[in-house]
Amino acid sequence: MPNETLYEELGGAAAVDAAVDVFYRKVLSDDRVSEFFDDVGMDRQIAKQKAFLTMVFGGPVAYSGKDMRAGHAHLIARGLNDSHVDAVIELLGTSLREVGAPEHLVVKVAAIAESARADVLNR
């Protein structure tokens, strides 16, 4: 289907639901980044990760660059930098492959995630 959006190609909300646990489990278990995900209750984190995945899947989400900046400012104070963004993008790719997303879509998702880097790091 030529007019399908990336979000639809990936499987929409169901794909987000399938990926969110896999992805959040990976970041919580990864020593490089887990400390940044550790201090917020699980339910709120799951909701945040769903919003994040919906965004990088190119889906409908009310998540602005300003929100990304405000939401990560306190983490920058704790040392959040490029290496952590790299790790999260890497874990995102691993998660998507694990739930069966085709490689050309994984690449597109990584590109959207990459586009959020400046906002996340407040540059």
Partner 1 sequence: MPELTFQGKTYAFEAGETVLDTLLRHGLPAAHSCKAGSCGSCMLRAPAGAVPASAQTGLKDSWKAQGYFLPCVCRVESNLSISPVGADAQLSGTIRSLELLSPDVLRLRVRCDAPLPFRGGQYVTLLREDGLARSYSIASLPDEGELEFHVRRIAQGRMSGWLHEEAGPGDRVSVLGPSGECFYVPGNPDQPLLLVGTGTGLAPLYGILRDAIANQHRGPIQLFHGAVHKGGLYLVNELRRLAAAHAHVDYSAAVLQGEESEDCLVGPLDKVVLSRIPKLTGWRGYVCGDPALVGLLKKKFFLSGMASREIHADAFLASVV
99: left (phi over 0), alpha (psi -120 to 50) or beta: alpha
d(CA 12, CA 59): 7
Among 46, 107, 111, 118, binds partner 1 (CB under 8 A): 46
Q: Which stretch binds partner 1 (CB under 8 A): 2-10, 39-47, 51-59, 70-78?
A: 39-47
d(CA 84, CA 13): 26
CB atoms < 10 A from the CB of 14, how many?
Answer: 9
Task: Tell the smallest beta-carbon distance from residue 106 to partner 1 (Å).
Answer: 23
d(CA 88, CA 25): 12
Instruction: Compute how many residues bind partner 1; rule: CB under 8 A.
Output: 9
Q: Which stretch binds partner 1 (CB under 8 A): 17-25, 66-74, 97-105, 108-116?
A: 17-25
Query: Which x/- pattern over 18-37 shows residues binding partner 1 (rule: CB under 8 A)?
Result: --xx--xx--xx--------
Contact residues toward partner 1 (CB under 8 A) are 20-21, 24-25, 28-29, 41-42, 46
